[in-house]
Amino acid sequence: MRIAHFVIVFFLTQGIFSQNAMLFNADEIRERGIFDIRDLTTVVPGLFVSSLGSAHSTAVYMRGVGSCGNSPAVSLYVDDVPWLNNSSFNSKISEIEQIEILRGPQSTLYGRNAMGGLICVTTKNPIDYQGTVIERSMANHYAHYTNVSHYQRFSEKLGLSAGVAYRSGGQFFNHSISGLKVDADRSLRAHARLLYRPDEASKIDFFANYELCSQDAFPFYLESVSDNDNFKDQLTQDIGRITSNDDNTYLRHLLNIGLKTEYNWPNVILGNVLGFQLLNDELKMDGDFTHLSIFKVQQTQHSRTLTDEITVKSRPGVWRHWEWSTGASFSYQWLLQQFLPGADSLRFFDTPTNSAALYHQSKFCDIFNAMGLDVTLGLRLEYDHASFSGESNDWWQLMPCFSMQYSFAKGDVYGTISRGYRSGGYNSNVSDVPSLALYKPEYAWNYELGTHLNPIKNKLFIDASVFLTNVSDLQTGQIDPFGLGEIISNAGRSRSFGGELSMRAQLTDRLQAHASYGYTHSSFTENVLSSGVSCEGNRVPFIPQHAVDLGANYTISLPKILDRQLLDHMVVRANWHGLGKIYWTEDNQVSEPFYTALDAKISFYRKHVEFGVWAANIYNSRCRTFYFQSMNRGYYQMNKPFQCGFELKLNF
């Protein structure tokens, strides 16, 4: 039996070793029900992802570092192409081959906005993966999914794939007055890929995908109304209910195109990754989320992003004691926003940004003639430029990293020091208040110690790490009381420390088990709210203190029926996970206690057929997945209730 839940060592685009990494392959992604990056929250210790009511904005936090705004602190790469716009993160990618997660600053190789870590998604290619795939699943709450994809290898040199998928994410919440569903989530996705390997030394890989996302958004409950609210008497009846009386919708068109080329010389590999992303969206929001007509918001984005990265790296094994990678990257983003708050006139905001960088990283193996002792050194020089309404700012950054690793028969131990960086920018929604428009970059120093152990060969794997992250010029977001959205400002410093422990075991030939635990203590060491109140010592919002994931798989061989092998085997899976405590506000007055959920699945396998029945959140645990305050009122969004369904997959 194969354990495929985690991988200790792997190489990404730049080809340099990363110590703290997790990997989920296609089978694990399917069996754990990972449809987008939000689902990684329950399986990756230290990671928390929330959609903030719609796909327009996705909050990603890792090890106490994160962001609710458009400048993410955790980077997302899909087929080695960076997705820079936060509004593209919540995407339903149907053809995933594997997902890799790197925790801690990855800025030396991946630049700005990889300060908290990196999520790298790889899709299936038509040379390594063959055949036609038909998938169909249905569940309660009107959830269903259909996917048809074909992967054709014409020869050893040429392969082509194409497919289309439609997903309805379900409808879980009702409007408290009309009784209608208010959270429909529908997406249509098409993808194509052409891979050409003219000879053993070169490769050309072209891919494109398009997604249409349509949502009934912001199913927010009203939790509280302050005593000085002018509408308190009228809003008392809305508490604990969804009562919006204006449209809450989100529509997004997302197109991604990439071209990867690679050439192998005897000693080095030259690669280039060119990417283009087009994002057009429209958001309509009831700004007060109540039955009153106080104000509403309409906003559109027109984003065009061009990225390019050139890498030159050593071929594995050419130099016995040295592995290296050198690269240059460039990005340019055109972002035009149209904003209509309330009854005001339409506002236009043009905020183009561009960046360029040079980097190098070297790994020296068996230094001082000590077998198994390796040292990695890296440095990145990055230039960022942002402009807005006639104003512009430039930032130059140096991002170093240092790591040392000692490998022995049963595993390894390592230590790293690295610097992370998140770019600055402008709050376009407060253009008439220059003092609030500009926010500066955010910086982090990360210190980490860890180990990977295999005490029982191919039977037991243990990964453990502890970390300390100091963040300066912390970017914090406040909801503007007049409905102009989130305002980002630099408000002090924070410190995060904690650790992660993961174990995987092959208990018998048929039974596998895994367990992981993450602890994060993230607090402000310096921070003052706009009201003048100090938050020093308070916990940083949106950071789960504890994260637990326990699970087991048991495989059962099935007998013949009437001398016919109708089914080969079945697998019974169960996973229990927990998350919390989470503070939702900087003053720590609102928090979410530790909550848990249980998932289970039974899958049946035949040569070309897979069939499964599953249940999620079996004991219907209820919790808030998002909370915020606006206009002196508190609002929240709930998690999904108990859900069950079936899925069928055909391969031929």
Q: Does position 389 have pLDDT exceeding 50, yes or no?
A: yes
Pairing of strands 624-630, 96-103: unpaired
Mean pLDDT confidence for 602-630: 94
Q: What is the mean pLDDT of residues 499-506?
A: 94
Mean pLDDT of the chain: 89
pLDDT at position 618 is: 97
Q: ∠ CA(296), CA(298), CA(299), 5° rounding? A: 145
pTM: 0.91
Residue 1 pLDDT exceeds 70: no
Residues in the chain, overall count: 652
Structure tokens belonging to residue 129: 């993966």
pLDDT > 70 in the chain, percent: 92
Banded model confidence at residue 70, pLDDT cuts 50, 70, 90: low
More confident residue, 59 or 329: 329
Amino acid at the residue 349: F
Task: Kindly report, residue by residue over 431-456, the tens digit of the pLDDT.
Answer: 555 556 788 889 999 999 999 999 99
Tell me the mean pLDDT in the region 527-540. Answer: 78
For residue 479, pLDDT over 90 is answered with: no
pLDDT greater than 60 at residue 480: no
CATH of the domain at 494: 2.40.170.20
In the prediction, which pLDDT does 67 show?
Answer: 79
For 240-259, what is the mean pLDDT?
Answer: 96
Instruction: Give percent of the chain with pLDDT exceeding 90.
Output: 65
pLDDT of 478 strictly over 70: no
| Residue 6: band (very low, low, confident or very high) from pLDDT cuts 50, 70, 90 | very low
- The predicted-structure confidence for 547-569, as pLDDT tens digits, reads as follows 999 999 999 999 888 788 888 99
For residue 14, the model assigns a pLDDT of: 45
Q: Which helix (H) or strand (E) holds 108?
A: helix 107-110
Residue 5 CA, distance from chain mean position: 18
Q: Is 313 helix (H, G, I), strand (E, B) or coil?
A: strand
The CA angle 496-499-505, to the nearest 5 degrees, is 160
CB 446 within 8 A of CB 20: no
- Give me the domain span that covers residue 327: 21-651
Mean pLDDT of 331-341: 84
pLDDT over 90 (residue 634): yes
- Over residues 262-294, the pLDDT tens digits come to 999 999 999 999 999 999 999 999 989 999 988
Domains contained in the chain, number? 1
What integer is the mean pLDDT of 483-501?
A: 81
- Angle (CA) 364-368-370 rounded to 5° is 90
Please give the Cα distance from 379 to 376 (Å, whole number): 11
Sort strands 609-616 and 595-606 into parallel, antiparallel or unpaired: antiparallel
Residue 387 corresponds to which tokens in the numbers above?
């402009």
Whether 14 is covered by a domain: the verdict is: no
Note the pLDDT of residue 612.
95
Inside any domain, residue 2: no
Residue-level pLDDT at 15: 42
Task: Name the burial class of residue 307, with classes exposed (0-12), middle (13-18) and buried (19+) by CB atoms within 10 angstroms of its CB.
Answer: buried
In degrees and rounded to multiples of 5, residue 37 shows phi and psi of -65, -20
Q: Is residue 53 part of a domain?
A: yes
Q: pLDDT digits over 144-188, tens only? A: 999 999 999 999 999 999 999 999 999 999 999 999 999 999 999
Q: Which two tokens stand for residue 77?
A: 């790469």
What letter represents residue 35's amino acid? F
Residue with tokens 């990439």: 258
Structure tokens at 544: 């789960």
Q: Does some domain include residue 353?
A: yes
Report the pLDDT value the prediction gives residue 72, as an integer from 0 to 100: 85
pLDDT at 348 over 80: no
Asked if 194 and 151 count as a contact pair (C-beta separation under 8 A), the reply is no
Q: What pLDDT, on the 0 to 100 scale, is given for residue 583?
A: 95
- Residue 546 pairs with which residues in a beta bridge? 519, 580
In a domain? residue 3: no
Q: What pLDDT does 431 receive?
A: 56
In a domain, 76, yes or no: yes
Summarize pLDDT for 196-219 with one digit per residue, the tens.
999 989 999 999 999 999 999 999
Strands 633-638, 221-225: pairing is antiparallel
Please check whether residue 92 lies inside any domain of the structure. yes
The three-state (H, E, C) secondary structure of 147-207, written as one string: EEEEEEECCCCEEEEEEEEEEECCCCCECCCCCCECCCEEEEEEEEEEEEEEECCEEEEEE
One-character DSSP codes across 418-479: EEEEE--EE-GGGTT-HHHHEE--EEEEEEEEEEEEEEETTTEEEEEEEEEEEEES-EEEEE
- Beta-strand relationship, 117-123 and 74-78: parallel
At position 241, the amino acid (one-letter code) is R
Return the SS3 of 317. Answer: coil
**428 compared with 202, residue with greater pLDDT:** 202
**Comparison of pLDDT for 28 and 617, the residue scoring more:** 617
Has residue 162 been placed in a domain?
yes
- The label of the residue with tokens 């959270």 reads 183
Intra-chain end-to-end CA distance of the chain, in Å = 23
pLDDT at 224: 95
Q: How confident is the model at residue 320 (pLDDT cuts 50, 70, 90)?
A: confident
